[in-house]
Structure formats: structure tokens, C-alpha cells
Amino acid sequence: MGARRAAVTGLGIVSALGSGVEEFWSGLVEGRSGVAQILSFDVSGWRTSRGAEVKDFSPRETGAYLRQAAAQALEDARLSASAVAGPRTAVFIGTTFGECLGLNRVMDEVIAGRLPEAGLEEAARPLLPASLSAGLARHLRALGPQLTLTTACAAGNTALAAAQGAIEDGRADFALAGGVDLFSPAIFAGFNRLLAVAPERCAPFSAGRLGLIPGEGCAVLLLEDFEAARRRGARVYATLAGYGLGCDARHATAPDAEGIARAIGDCLQDAGLRPQDVGYVNAHGTGTPANDKAEAAAIGAVWPQAASRPPVSSIKGALGHAMGAASALEAAACCLALARGVLPPTINHVAGDPDCALDCVPRARQARPRYALSNAFAFGGGNCVTAFAAPEPAAAPAPRACAGVVVTAAVAVGPARDPEQEARAALPERDLGLLDAPIAYALSAARLALEQAHLAGGERTGAVLESSGELAAQWRFYRDLATGGPSAVEPAQFPNNLANAAVSRVCIIFGLKLAAISLAGAYPSGEGAAAFAWRLLRRRGSGAMLAGGVEAGACLLVLETEQDARSRGARILAEFEVIEESFAPEGAGDSSPCGCLAKAVRKVEEGGRPLDYAARSRFGGIVRLRLKPPTSS
């Protein structure tokens, strides 16, 4: 019996080109642009004034975009809301900034003196990124696994990767997955202060390109098992064939061609493809000089002969850079390209840059590729590439081998009086850069965990961390903007506003290149991150992951495949298994404090008895784990 395949049977889209599949697709293939003068806030006196806003949509809230796109995806898949209610539907949503406008309104109350600064954290809690997947799951009564992934501009693809796993391993019959972000004055100011924004238009891979154009939007894809979709007569746009992860482990904002090439190669390996099988690449293609040069070099490394390179287009000239929604919108474009036999163009493209020697599809083109890749790269160097296959029937892939996973380190740190000072004292030989408390806690715990596991960085080790968001950094940045204007904000502060700042810094400082995954911090001890790492390692069959949570301290495990741990003679603390991930709409409340998961591992190690461990998130998620004493080799 073959393995299950994840088929895309529904698309929901809210974009600067319009809402719904047909408005979105016709705008792309006709070469229209959604970029215009910004109207949602006053940009008088700013360095630039153009963006790709969603028009004629109310209310202007992240959750509203998400609910609308999900409703479209269900209608497009010819499914009722009742069909996806229950424990067999999963929800995975990617975002960079979550409910940013609502959070800014709360901050305005502090600035105006109507809310004490000490009350900011409590007032902001319902608006944290974890509320997005939980809110949609609650809205649909979807009771299966749910996560908000905060891997910045790779978040949409990372959500799709999580959904593919849930369908393939039988945890879900349906999965709603995608990405959503709105842009705000703070986001616009951040990109402008980094001098990354073009004054008029985004021209990916072009000679003389000047930068990105900020955008916004949402795309939700409905995934289900391919055979089940065929039995119910569903239209299949494409199947999700595989994904690749990686981390540059180099710089907070500068991309690295080698890291990008590794992620593309990892995707091809996961999907069982050769480079020559790929007939189209939807590029990250932001239009910045550095990003496009690095991405073109990575494509050249995977396809060394220019004649063998597949056509490459970027749709960010039309949609702007929609951040956490970008790769979800681009995944939808890949599905439509495969299903309809048309490659969307790179609008505004001007040939002539020798560093971007690609076939950039300047106009829409008839083509019938069997496989397409969608590239997504984030601040901090976190990369995720997805592979889609044309929907024609094909032999089901062989079932994936599932490796056993063990714990080789378990540590907890904090709370500390001065976590930044402690991190610098613990790592005196490293340039840690600009720190805040979450980043400092993560670095201190990572150092201890890697030392305890006797692991170094490299391509076989990665990290997945949960964080409730960089609220203190966001507050400082927004306060400076609101009281002093765009010139008052510090450019170096902007990357620390992103919820993936802690995991990115850990990977950069310790050279972890396997993956850099950030989850919204619904579980302070990191049980959701540990479950994600467990599934990733079982799928890959090798490697190690730092996994845990950061909040008023940090709790980190090192998880490894059992074979790798035994082959290097590591001390195994416990065997690790995920029993269940689910959602209880009425179950939101207090979660286990930071450190509980590490204590549970120690209890098993010291007591020599198995332990079933359950954690409930603040927003209703449930993770059940089983820890067992290690068996002798």
C-alpha cells in the first residue's frame, strides 16, 4: 500500500490584486500591479509612500483576512463548514506580525496614558500570534492539530510543510494551511529604515532594481488525502510533493546563496526529485539587490548549466512583499500554474543584470511543467522551499521510514535579574549583537543544551523555538515611531521585532543550519516545538534539533534520531514520542510554566520509569507526549 499524498483541493485568497481565485489569477497573468499610493495611514514626509494594500476590505484585521480566505478555500473545495468540523481537521497558519494593528492600538493607549505600561503584556495577550490558528480553529470547530508558525517571510511555506505532514501521516483528513499579514506604520518604517524599499515599483531580478514594495494579504490552501479527494470527485489543483528546510546561520538580514541552495536541495530530496524534473520555480524574488543576487546564485548552483535552468518568476512586483502571507500566495500561484498550464510573469522585469542570469518569464507563458518549486526565505536566514506536482494521477510514493527519537539534553534557565548580561557573560567570545530578554534566555539555554549533548553546529543540527513574541522590542520600536516619527526608529532594532528573532540568533551564533523554525509561544515550556522537532526528525531519518520554549526563561531539549545519538555515543536521557496533538475550543487557559518539560525528562532519567505528559496551551491546544527510559543498545 502506498503512502498518503497531500492534495490541494481549495484556494482562498485576499490580495492587493483582489479577492478570490479568479481575480487573483487574472491579475497575475495579465501583468497587473496592486502597488499604489498608501491610503491606510499617513505617509507624508516618509522616505517612500507606495505599497500593495488590499482594497475594499473591512474590517482591516488579520483574523478577518484569515476567516475570509478560509471560507473561500472551503467553498472552492466544495466543502461545507460542517464537513471540516471535528477532530480530523488541522489548522496551520504562518505570520510575521500577527494582529499588528490591534497591538498598535493597545500601544497607543499606553502612549496616551490611558493604560499603564505595566498592563501592556496582559492587554496584548489576546492579540499574540498564537491567537490566529486558534481563532480559526475555534471559528470552524476544527479540533485537530493547530499551530501558528512565525518563521517570518517563510511562514506560509512552513505552515504548508506542517500540513503536508499531518495529511501524510494520517493525523488529519483535512488541513487548512497558509499565511496572513497586514502591514502597518511600524512595519513600513522598519523596512524603510533598512533602506530596503523601492520608491515606485518592485522589479525582481532586474538590472537597476531598487528594493521591495511592502504588501499584505492572505492565502489559505485546503489540503486532503489525494485518494480521498478523488473518491469524492474533488478537483485537485496539485499535490504537495515535499519540502526543504535550512538556515543560513550567517546574518540577521543578509541572504546567503549557499544556505538557499541547501534548502532547494533538501526539498528535491524530500520530494524524490532530480533538478531536471522541475519545470518552474516561483522565486522569493523580493527585488532587493542582495536577495535577488543570492537567490539567482543558489539557482545557478542547483542547475549549473544555464540551458537546463527552469523558468523562474517572482510575483512580488504585482503583490508586493506580503511577509508571512507571501509564500502562501506564491504556493497558490504554483498550484494554479500547474493546473491551468500558464506561468505567471515577473512584471517590471528589466534584463541585463549578469548576476541574475535566469529566464524570468517577463510575460505570462503557456507551459505544462510536472513539478514546480516555491522558494521562501526569511530574516534570520530561515529558509523553506516547497515542491508541488501536477494533478494528473500517479503512483503513490512509498511510505516514509520513521526514525526513533531520543532526548540527549534537557535544560532550563531563568528567570534572571539581567538575562542580557548573563548571556554575554556565558558567551564572552561571541559577538551576540543587539539583545533583549527572549534572545538572551534562548542563547544561554542553547549553550547549556549543546554542551550537555556534546553537539556542535553544522548542517545536521537545527532549532525550533516557541516564543510569545518580541513584545518588549515591538513596544520600544513603536513608541519611538509614534513619538518621534520614522527617523526616530533605530534600523538595527527592526529584526528584533520579529517573532523568529530568538531562534534566528541561536542558529547564527551556534552555526545551526538544519532548520530555524519559530512557533507562536502558546506553550511556555515548548511542548509544541518539541512535537514539531520530533516529527521533522522522524521524517528526515537523521539529525538533531534544539527544541523548546522561551518566556521569562527558556526550556530547551536536544532531540536526535536514536541512530545518530547511539552512533556518536551520546548519553540518552529518555526516548521521546508524541501521542496526540489536538485542540479544545473551550480549553484555553493557563499553561504549564517554563521548565516543566525539562523537569519531566529528568524525572524519567532519574526514576527509570515511563511518563505520559500532557500540556495545554493558552489558546486551547493540547500536546500529549510519552517519555520512556532508554533501552539498552
Enumerate the active-site residues. 153, 284, 321
**Cell 505528559 -> residue:** 613
Give the C-alpha separation, 592 to 103, whole Å. 25
Which DSSP string do the residues of 550-590 spell out, in sequence order? Answer: ESSSEEEEEEEEHHHHHHTTPPP-EEEEEEEEEE-TT--S-
Q: Which amino acid is at 530?
A: A
Give the C-alpha separation, 323 to 270, whole Å. 25
**Cell 527509570 -> residue:** 608
Give the C-alpha separation, 343 to 437, whole Å. 45
CA dihedral 387, 99, 498, 208 (to 10 degrees): 70
Q: Are 439 and 497 in contact (CB under 8 A)?
A: no
Give the C-alpha separation, 71 to 203, whole Å. 33
Roughly how many angstroms between the first and final C-alpha of the chain, as a whole number? Answer: 31
CA 104-105-107 angle, 5° bins: 60
Strands 217-225 and 371-377: unpaired
Please say whether the dihedral angle defined by the alpha carbons of residues 377, 382, 387 and 388, taken in this order, is positive or negative: negative
Give the C-alpha separation, 514 to 376, whole Å. 15
C-alpha cell at position 276: 531536471
Give the C-alpha separation, 505 to 510, whole Å. 8
Cis omega (within 30 of 0) for bond into 311? no
Percentages of the chain per state (helix, strand, coil), in multiples of 5: 40, 25, 40
Q: Are 55 and 65 in contact (CB under 8 A)?
A: no
Residue (of 501, 429, 471) closest to 252 by Cα position:
501
Give the C-alpha separation, 20 to 505, whole Å. 38
Helices 100-111 & 62-76, crossing angle to 10 degrees?
170
**Other C-beta atoms within 10 Å of 250: how many?**
16
Q: Are 91 and 138 in contact (CB under 8 A)?
A: no
Helices 100-111 & 185-193, crossing angle to 10 degrees?
90
Residue (of 534, 535, 582, 527) closest to 551 by Cα position:
527
Q: Please, where are the H alpha helices in 141-288?
A: 155-168, 185-193, 226-231, 257-271
CA 518-519-523 angle, 5° bins: 135
